[in-house]
A and B are shown apart, each in its own frame.
Chain A
């Protein structure tokens, strides 16, 4: 069999961060699978340990696909937030991700909240803790964009809890176009 090739990464998922006080909002866009989850996980953990928020809002409204790797991603970030003494909310999961969240019973682990009037109607299964939060994530433009690619997974630190070892080379930072537009 041929050796494993070094394929050029193709970004299929990215996330943007926005901080408002002790609240960190992370909006993930794209598809979350085993391939993309590693880079997203490393990037989010680096941000979490740098900013140490009291509340993490994981915005899944722009996630077009998610398999059980996404469940692992959520459960892992829940553990990190617990370690940091904070709490976590999954915000407005897209219809594509609700089924697997419900299947895993994720609402029993973390709070799942929706914008007012947009809660799923089917049995109300996706409403976390019975009483969905009405607090929306900050609407300000994100502070920076981190593009998650397989290269970040390979070059980043293998210890996601210690972002100091990761270095800037492990992540690709880009200027957010919306921020430029608003400037």
Chain B
């Protein structure tokens, strides 16, 4: 199942790209967002833009750990791909091979959570959607979930 709510197109040429693969451990959440922020910093983004990206990445990685691999006894892995596109745009893809999401549309509803006992706010996808310019969620039950986010940075840097 695949859904794209916003139609913003980011089809710029890939200028630079990194790939990170990390164990799905909560201790790695901060490292994941810091690594993405560090890579994006070459575009000289604004403080708010970096904060938005870090928050969106943290949400996606947390979702993979808390929900994607919730029934997996072994440590799963999360693959993060960050691409800098021409036109000062950033594409961030966060992929897990967890349980998948049966109904992506429902999962993206604000306040929806399957882990109310864990005090999850159910705002993860809402935060990702609000703090980026486009969000695409592709998921297949039993196979995993891929979250792709695009962020267009303001015109202020060198690139």
B58 to chain A, nearest CB (A): 4
Check: B17 CB closer than 8 A to any chain A CB.
no
Chain A residues closer than 8 Å to B77, beta-carbon distance: 1
One digit per residue, 1 when the CB lies within 8 angstroms of any chain A CB and 0 when it does not, for chain B 119-130 equals 111111011001
Neighbour of B55 across the interface among A12, A37, A73, A100, CB < 8 A:
A100
Bound Cα distance A146, B62 (Å) = 24
B127 touches A68 (CB 8 A): yes
Pick out which of these stretches binds chain A: B25-33, B84-92, B148-156.
Answer: B25-33
Which A residues are CB-close (under 8 A) to B119? 37, 41, 72-73, 75-76
B-side residues, CB < 8 A to A, are 25-27, 29-30, 33, 48, 51-52, 54-55, 58-59, 62, 65-66, 74-77, 118-124, 126-127, 130-131
Residues of A within 8 A of B (CB): 1-5, 7, 9-10, 12, 31, 33-35, 37, 41, 65-69, 71-73, 75-76, 96, 99-100, 103-104, 150
Instruction: Write 28 A-B pairs (CB below 8 A) sorted by A numbering.
Output: A1-B76, A4-B25, A4-B75, A5-B75, A7-B27, A9-B27, A10-B27, A31-B30, A33-B30, A33-B62, A34-B26, A34-B62, A34-B65, A34-B66, A35-B26, A37-B119, A65-B54, A65-B58, A67-B62, A68-B120, A68-B122, A71-B121, A71-B123, A76-B119, A99-B55, A100-B55, A103-B126, A104-B123
> Top 9 A-B pairs ranked by shortest CB distance?
A1-B74, A35-B26, A71-B121, A72-B119, A68-B123, A72-B121, A67-B58, A76-B119, A34-B62
